[in-house]
Amino acid sequence: MIKIINLSKYFGKTRILNNINLEVEQGEIITLIGTSGCGKSTLLKCIDGLEKPSSGKIYIDNIDITSKNTNLNQIRTRLGIVFQQFNLFPHMTVKQNITLAPIKVKEMSKNEAEFVAMELLEKVGLLDKINKYPDELSGGQAQRVAIARSLAMKPDIMLFDEPTSALDPQMTMEVLDTLKNLAQDGMTMIVVTHEMKFAKEVANRIILMSHGEIIEQNNPTEFFDNPQKQITKDFLESVNL
Amino acid sequence: MYALDFSVLLDAKNLIWQGLLITLQVSLLSSIFAFLLAVLITYLRDLPNKWIVWITNAYIELARNIPLLIQLYIIYKVYPHFGLSFSPINCGILALSIYTAAYISEVLRSGMNSIASQQKQAALALGLNSLQTFWLITFPQAIRIVIPTLGSQFINLIKNSSLVSFIAVVDIFYVIYKGAADDFRIYEYFLLGTLIYMGLTGVVAIITNIIEKSLKVYGREAKV
Amino acid sequence: MNDIIANSDLLFKGLRITLMLGILSGVTSLVLGTLLGLARYSNITPLKICAATFIEITRSIPLVLYIVFIYLTCSPILGQINIFHDEIFGSLEFQSAFIALSLFTSAYIAEIVRSGLKSVETTQIQAAKALGLNIFQRLKYVILPCAISRMMPALVSQFISLIKDTSLASIIGLIEFTRSGEIIYERTYNETQILALVALVYFVICYGMSQFSKKLEQRPFGIIKLGF
């Protein structure tokens, strides 16, 4: 579904990503872990076309998104991304946040979009907040609305960029539950996270990154119980499972 | 077709030079007075005396919400009735100083507000009095933050100095306007006027930049 | 007091011209300034350079220079066009002052618009991009609404400046509020009362606007209603 070949990314002279190769199959749930600044978020933004890679190719269903001829907006309707800081639009209600893109990009009718919004809000347990503004929501609620906003475009793949790191433990639980439900529905997901417990329970594959490179990847059992590389061992030691 | 002929400017070069000197004199003196007055106002506004604060606030609102031209006319026409007569050029300097000081003190206050109140409390706790706290602790930090905004106030002052021509002071604007209208050499004179004002405001912008770079803003490095 | 009452007609007429000049140039400069600000914010280099040149030149010269330049260069043309036969709008002085104030203010508004646009966080723009919104949709639904609410205080203070700036149109002989006061005290020698009244009227208008702006700041998104 996603195929990344020799991807590198520089900011000025600083190397953020170095020669990344990765393939993601439909229905896979991948967690990206690593210390902050290791390039996980940048990798995610490259996949969504929000950052332009310095070199290398990214294919989404065999369409090269790094090519100039590709209509990024069209590809993006197939991908959803949820950010660490929610990034809800502060001047719109929850309903408007969710229905904006379906109406404007997918040209859905207003009624239909609102129906979808209500369905999704019910799924994340926030139907009563439909007419609230983002600043009236708690962090956990705002993040769940952000997830609903992405899901409203009916994406095939969901990307999560540290969705819980701005939240306290209680709210983290709420958001992770939403993610688990999504996983059970069979959504293809890439989750950048520091939540090792979540990674262990939900992911099919765990990828450790360090200094812009993929160090080790494996299924959760192998990854946690039988790490191959020294960096992985050190990392697991430091997060103190 | 209008043919540009810059020789008219050469013929008028003495007048132009004198006008430029008047503009420079008015701008420079007003800048100094306005800044000093603004610092005083900023200090007074920070005192825990509600009467002083009320009076300084009233001054700032009056100065900012009445056109400079009216303030200039009041000083020029009304003050003499109360025994305060100044030469036209001094009226201009006075009006510009009072007007600009109100704006500068607002800029300085926004700088003061951005300094953590703990700084002031710490200084007072060490036994410094309010003047020492202002002069040694809060003001030096505030001024570093607001230098770019301060620069644009001085640029406004230079442009506003052209209003002295309304009370018959022959500044550079007056020379340009009269020359353009009397000689029917509109484009030559206005091109020169534009270049002169761009030059003057450009110099202030450059100076502001140099000062900004040479003054380190403490405690700000990590935030970038 | 008698001098004021006896000449109240002239004062009212002057005030009307001041307000009309302010409102008309205000609206025009808002439209023009927004277009200029967008041009300078855009990625289209020639557009950017043209907008930046106009803005920077305009911002570095005094308004009076602008007014007399427009008056001296445009009045022959305006005199020939002569579209309005209205007593006020038809005068070359009013038309010149209107053009000068609109152009001058639009340069300042353009900078307010540009810094408002720049203040919208990249993360917000990224979120809008990620949802598949194109550049016009991003501007319309996300960037402009956020930017406008942030621009409001600066815009209001620009309009306060504009009202004060209309007084400079007296230099080309437009009998607006300041000039009407001047005419009266030149006749009656009652400078104190007349200038006090003129100052008071300007103060009430401008201070009122600044208080209104403070109210707006207290409810950041209250002014923007969205329907799509």
Structure-token pair, residue A81: 């991304």
pLDDT at C148: 84
Q: How far is CA B180 from CA A80, A90, B16, B174, B206, in A?
A: 64, 53, 12, 10, 30
In this model, does residue A196 exceed pLDDT 50? Answer: yes
Out of C123, C126, C228, whose CB is closest to A104? C228
Interface with chain A: mutation pick from C122, C125, C131, highest number of A CBs within 10 Å: C131
Residues from chain C that touch B155, judged by Cβ atoms under 8 A, are 60
- What would the pLDDT profile of A75-118 be if each residue is shown by its tens digit? 888 888 998 888 888 888 899 999 988 888 888 899 999 999 99
Instruction: Report the C-alpha gap between C43 and C47 in whole angstroms.
Output: 8
What is the least distance, in Å, from the CA of B59 to any CA of chain C?
Answer: 12
Instruction: Report the C-alpha gap between A88 and A80 in whole angstroms.
Output: 14
Instruction: Report the C-alpha gap between A3 and B205 in whole angstroms.
Output: 52
pLDDT at C228: 57
Residues B180, C63: C-beta atoms closer than 8 Å: no
Counting every residue written for chain A, the total comes to 241
For residues A91 and C145, the answer to whether their CB atoms sit within 8 Å is: yes
According to DSSP, the residues that pair with A218 across neighbouring strands are: A206
- Class of domain B7-215 as given by CATH: mainly alpha
Burial of A164 (0-12, 13-18, 19+ CB in 10 A): buried
- What would the pLDDT profile of C184-209 be if each residue is shown by its tens digit? 998 888 889 999 999 999 999 999 99
Residues 6 or more apart whose CB falls under 8 angstroms from that of A213 comprise A18, A19, A20, A39
For the beta carbon of residue A5, count every other beta carbon within 10 angstroms: 15
Residues A91, C149: C-beta atoms closer than 8 Å: yes
Structure-token pair, residue A33: 């872990």
What is the least distance, in Å, from the CA of C180 to any CA of chain B?
Answer: 12
Instruction: Report the C-alpha gap between C192 and C60 in whole angstroms.
Output: 34
pLDDT at B218: 54
User: Residue A17 in 3-state DSSP?
Assistant: strand
pLDDT: which is higher, B69 or C153: B69
Out of C130, C142, C228, whose CB is closest to A103? C228
How far, rounded to the nearest angstrom, does the alpha carbon of residue C90 sit from its chain's CA centroid?
21
Mean pLDDT value of segment C166-171: 95
pLDDT at C226: 52
List the one residue out of A91, A107, A51 whose CA is nearest residue C143: A91
Residues 6 or more apart whose CB falls under 8 angstroms from that of C50 comprise C39
What is the least distance, in Å, from the CA of A20 to any CA of chain C?
Answer: 22
**A217 Cβ under 8 Å from any chain C Cβ:** no
User: Residue A204 in 3-state DSSP?
Assistant: coil
B–C CB contacts, 8 A cutoff, strictly below: 98
Instruction: Report the C-alpha gap between A203 and A207 in whole angstroms.
Output: 10
For chain B, domain boundaries: 7-215
**C134 Cβ under 8 Å from any chain A Cβ:** yes
List the one residue out of C228, C213, C137 whose CA is nearest residue A92: C228
Counting every residue written for chain B, the total comes to 224
Touching A: which chains, 3+ CB pairs < 8 A?
A: C
pLDDT band at C218; cut points 50, 70, 90 = low
- What would the pLDDT profile of C72-129 be if each residue is shown by its tens digit? 888 888 877 777 777 777 788 999 999 999 999 999 999 999 999 888 888 888 899 8
**C146 Cβ under 8 Å from any chain A Cβ:** yes
Residues C130, A150: C-beta atoms closer than 8 Å: yes
List the one residue out of A162, A165, A129, A169 whose CA is nearest residue A145: A129
User: Residue A216 in 3-state DSSP?
Assistant: strand
Instruction: Report the C-alpha gap between B82 and B99 in whole angstroms.
Output: 21
**A42 Cβ under 8 Å from any chain C Cβ:** no
List the one residue out of A119, A126, A122, A118 whose CA is nearest residue A143: A126
Kindly state the DSSP code that residue B76 receives in the 8-state scheme.
I
B near C: at least 3 beta-carbon pairs less than 8 Å apart = yes
For residues B172 and B19, the answer to whether their CB atoms sit within 8 Å is: yes
DSSP string, A25-74: -TT-EEEEE-STTSSHHHHHHHHTTSS--SEEEEEETTEETTSTTS-HHH
Mean pLDDT value of segment C51-74: 93
Instruction: For A24, list phi and psi in degrees, rounded to 5.
Output: -125, 130
Residues A96, C228: C-beta atoms closer than 8 Å: yes
For the CA atoms of chain B, what is the radius of gyration? 21
pLDDT at A6: 92
What is the least distance, in Å, from the CA of B138 to any CA of chain C?
Answer: 26
User: Residue A196 in 3-state DSSP?
Assistant: helix
What is the least distance, in Å, from the CA of C133 to any CA of chain A?
Answer: 6
For the beta carbon of residue A95, count every other beta carbon within 10 angstroms: 18
Interface with chain B: mutation pick from C54, C55, C60, C188, highest number of B CBs within 10 Å: C60
B near A: at least 3 beta-carbon pairs less than 8 Å apart = no
Residues C202, B66: C-beta atoms closer than 8 Å: yes
Q: How far is CA B199 from CA B159, B194, C18, in A?
A: 12, 8, 32
Domains of chain C: 21-175+196-227 (1.10.3720.10)
Interface with chain C: mutation pick from B2, B27, B57, B66, highest number of C CBs within 10 Å: B66
What is the least distance, in Å, from the CA of C137 to any CA of chain B?
Answer: 31
What is the average pLDDT score of chain C? 88
Mean pLDDT value of segment C215-220: 68
List the one residue out of A135, A133, A137, A131 whose CA is nearest residue A117: A131
Instruction: Report the C-alpha gap between A4 and A39 in whole angstroms.
Output: 15
Structure-token pair, residue A38: 């290791």
How many Cα atoms within 13 Å fall on the side-chain side of residue C212?
Answer: 13
What is the average pLDDT score of chain B? 88
For residues B57 and B45, the answer to whether their CB atoms sit within 8 Å is: yes
**Amino acid, single-letter form, for residue A43:** L
pLDDT at B128: 77
Instruction: Report the C-alpha gap between A138 and A81 in whole angstroms.
Output: 20
Q: Name the least confident of A56-70, A176-190, B118-132, B175-189.
A: B118-132
Structure-token pair, residue A100: 């904006």
Residues from chain B that touch C154, judged by Cβ atoms under 8 A, are none
Residues from chain C that touch A90, judged by Cβ atoms under 8 A, are 146, 220-221
Task: Choose the most confident range, by mean pLDDT, from A172-181, B105-114, C158-167.
Answer: C158-167
pLDDT at B40: 94
Out of B67, B68, B180, whose CB is closest to C72? B180
Instruction: Report the C-alpha gap between A91 and A123 in whole angstroms.
Output: 24
Per-residue pLDDT of chain B (224 residues; tens, 9 = 90+): 577 778 888 888 889 999 999 999 999 999 999 999 999 999 898 888 889 999 999 999 999 999 999 999 999 999 999 988 899 999 999 999 999 999 999 999 888 888 767 777 777 777 777 888 888 888 888 888 898 889 999 999 999 999 999 998 999 999 999 988 887 888 889 999 999 999 999 999 999 988 888 876 554 433 32
Which helix (H) or strand (E) is A192 found in, with range? Answer: strand A188-192
Which helix (H) or strand (E) is C179 found in, with range? Answer: helix C177-188
Mean pLDDT value of segment A64-82: 84
Out of B62, B68, B155, whose CB is closest to C203? B62
Residues from chain A that touch C134, judged by Cβ atoms under 8 A, are 73, 105
